[in-house]
Amino acid sequence: MAWRQTKVEDQREQLIIEYINKTASMKDLCEAYGVSRKTAYKWYQRYKEGGVDALVDRSRAPNNPHVRFSDEVITCALNLKLKHPSFGPKKIYAMLKRKYPGKDWPSPTRLYEIFKAHHLVCSRKLRRRVPRTHPLGEINGSNDIWCADFKGWFLTGDRSKIEPLTITDAFSRFVICCEHLDRKTGDHVWELYSRAFKEFGLPLRIRTDNGPPFASTGPGRLCRLAVNLIKVGITPEWITPGRPEENGRHERFHRSLKSAVANPPAETMEEQLLRMEVYVEEFNFERPHEALKQVPPGSIYEPSTRQWDGLLRSPEYDTSLITLRKVCPNGCIHWKRMGCYVGQLLAGEYVGLTEVDNGRYSVYYGPVMLGTIIEGKGFEKPELPRRRRR
């Protein structure tokens, strides 16, 4: 004997008839048929309105199908995509709305379908996301924090090595600097820093990683470049070793830069440098940025009101709270008959000491803590976080 087949519509009708005849409560019927009460009441209401015929599944097609856009609109979107092949549908949509505000344009999802049909986009491989971390400093406006780092090097067609130094404003994502350096020394980086300070003013802080020439393994991670920043009136800050996501805004810019100007690289160095210059102009003033609600960074960024006169001045201290000690030529300070080595880098500079506990004193150079003096033991550097093991 063959199994009797039961249609879904018949089960719905049986449930409703049993409910109307009060054979069981709706709760018991839903448990017996394996459906939710919300679904059961939906089919009961349809049965009341249309009888048995209303128990058949309805079409899930939208009541208002896709709006048919003219060939002129689609062609305009395709031309803009061809002009900016690295821009996604959201950025293309934002640019179309900004350039032609009076027209109706396809949504970003519809634009993706159009670009896909013309083989202008490809699916992106999803990657595991790292958890977000609390920022090192508060970012409330332009020039609160500048992010700086070297973009990883690559070779052009004539085997020239390109490794640009990039500086961006963390709030507006505005590109302050993107220039190639032949050598990664502190003097060469300071030359670009100085040029940026004179053009855009001074930020409150500059965030970098822990590698040279931005930091060292000495007290307070200070290097000559960081000391110069403090003398200008800028606080250097460093991410945790092995945690590049703490400077994620800047790393994301590096990804866009590489995709736009180095994939593939240019044939010559001159052509590569021109590509970088053109892309920075486009990134700042044309390319919509998703984190900025699809407006270019140049429409948000404002130069700093803190201007630099080109002089380096030693940091000032509140002498009512801090005791000053001058660093000797050998890199030591003398405190209570002890010689404490804080580094020859600060020879001739004044450092500040403040008591934090009985017999313990914190040593600062400007805003940066160098370490702690413990009576009877000497000077100890703060222990840096260890790198994560993969």
In this prediction, residue 132 has a pLDDT band, given cuts at 50, 70 and 90, of: very low
**Mean predicted confidence (pLDDT) in 93-117:** 89
Do both 335 and 234 map to the same domain?
no
Give the whole-number percent of the chain exceeding pLDDT 90: 48
In this prediction, residue 52 has a pLDDT band, given cuts at 50, 70 and 90, of: confident
**3-class secondary structure, 95:** helix
Strand 323-326 with 350-357, pairing: antiparallel
Lowest mean pLDDT segment, chosen from 20-24, 108-112, 126-130, 308-312: 126-130
**What pLDDT sits at residue 355?**
87
Structural domain for 83, as ranges: 71-117
> What is d(CA 271, CA 251) in angstroms, rounded to the nearest whole number?
24
Residue 40 lies in a domain: yes
Residue 64 lies in a domain: no
In this prediction, residue 103 has a pLDDT band, given cuts at 50, 70 and 90, of: confident
**3-class secondary structure, 261:** helix
**Mean predicted confidence (pLDDT) in 316-342:** 88
What DSSP designation does 295 have?
Answer: B
Residue 313 lies in a domain: no
Do both 105 and 174 map to the same domain?
no
Q: Is the dihedral of CA 83, 86, 92, 95 positive or negative?
A: negative
In this prediction, residue 130 has a pLDDT band, given cuts at 50, 70 and 90, of: very low
> Rounded to whole angstroms, what are the CA distances from 325 to 129, 145, 371?
47, 30, 14
Cβ atoms of 249 and 151 within 8 Å: the answer is no
Do both 283 and 357 map to the same domain?
no
**What pLDDT sits at residue 385?**
56
User: Which one is predicted more confidently, 136 or 72?
Assistant: 72
How many domains does the chain divide into?
Answer: 4
**What pLDDT sits at residue 160?**
92
**Mean predicted confidence (pLDDT) in 231-259:** 91
User: Which one is predicted more confidently, 166 or 383?
Assistant: 166
**What pLDDT sits at residue 134?**
40
> What is d(CA 322, CA 355) in angstroms, rounded to the nearest whole number?
8
> What is d(CA 129, CA 248) in angstroms, rounded to the nearest whole number?
12
- Residue carrying the six token digits 């820093």: 193
Do both 47 and 80 map to the same domain?
no
Peptide bond into 213 cis (omega under 30): yes
**What pLDDT sits at residue 265?**
92
Q: Tell me the average pLDDT of the chain.
A: 87
Do both 178 and 93 map to the same domain?
no
Give the containing element (helix H, strand E) for 117: helix 108-117
Predicted confidence (pLDDT) at residue 145 exceeds the cutoff of 90: yes
Summarised one tens digit per residue, pLDDT across range 162-178 is 999 999 999 999 999 99
Domain of 171, CATH number, reads 3.30.420.10
**Mean predicted confidence (pLDDT) in 297-308:** 95
Lowest mean pLDDT segment, chosen from 42-56, 64-78, 101-115: 64-78
Do both 250 and 352 map to the same domain?
no
Residue 251 lies in a domain: yes
In this prediction, residue 135 has a pLDDT band, given cuts at 50, 70 and 90, of: very low
Predicted confidence (pLDDT) at residue 109 exceeds the cutoff of 50: yes
Residue 267 lies in a domain: yes
Do both 101 and 202 map to the same domain?
no
Do both 289 and 150 map to the same domain?
yes
In the chain, DSSP finds a helix count (H) and a strand count (E) of 10, 14
> What is d(CA 56, CA 36) in angstroms, rounded to the nearest whole number?
18
Nearest residue to 225 (alpha-carbon basis) of 188, 267, 271: 188
Residue 65 lies in a domain: no
Residue 204 lies in a domain: yes
Residues 6+ apart with CB under 8 A from 16: 43, 44, 47, 55
Residue 137 lies in a domain: no
Predicted confidence (pLDDT) at residue 127 exceeds the cutoff of 60: no
**What pLDDT sits at residue 66?**
63
Do both 280 and 171 map to the same domain?
yes
Summarised one tens digit per residue, pLDDT across range 248-280 is 899 999 999 999 999 899 999 999 999 999 999
> What is d(CA 226, CA 384) in angstroms, rounded to the nearest whole number?
17
User: Which one is predicted more confidently, 56 or 384?
Assistant: 56
